[in-house]
Structure 1
Amino acid sequence: MRRLALTILGIVIFLLGVLWTLQGLGFVGWPADSFMIGKRQWAYIGVLAMAAGLILVWIVRRRRSGR
Structure 2
Amino acid sequence: MKGWFALSLGLLAVVTGAVWTVQGLGYVSDSIMTGQRIWAVIGPALAAVGLGLLWRGMRSRQGD
With the shorter chain as reference, the TM-score category is 0.7 to 0.9
1:21-60 aligned at under 5 Å gives the runs 21-29=21-29, 32=30, 34-60=31-57
Higher relative contact order (CA 8 A, sep 6+): 2
Instruction: Name the aligned partner's letter for residue 35 of structure 2.
Output: G
Deviates more, 1:54-63 or 1:44-53: 54-63
- 2:63 alignment partner in structure 1: 65
Gaps of 5+ in 1: none
Q: TM-score, normalised by structure 2?
A: 0.85
Consecutive aligned runs of 4 or more in structure 1 exceeding 6 Å deviation: none
Quick one: distance in 2 between partners of 1:2 and 1:23? 34
Q: TM-score, normalised by structure 1?
A: 0.82
CA gap of 1:62–1:2, structure 2 versus 1, over 3 A, is closer
Quick one: distance in 1 between partners of 2:24 and 2:2? 32
What does the per-residue CA deviation read over 1:6-60, in whole Å, with 9 as the maximum and x for residues that have no partner?
201100110000000000000112xx1x221001110100000110000111012
Shift of 1:4: 1.4
Count of residues paired in the alignment: 63
Identity of aligned residues (%): 40
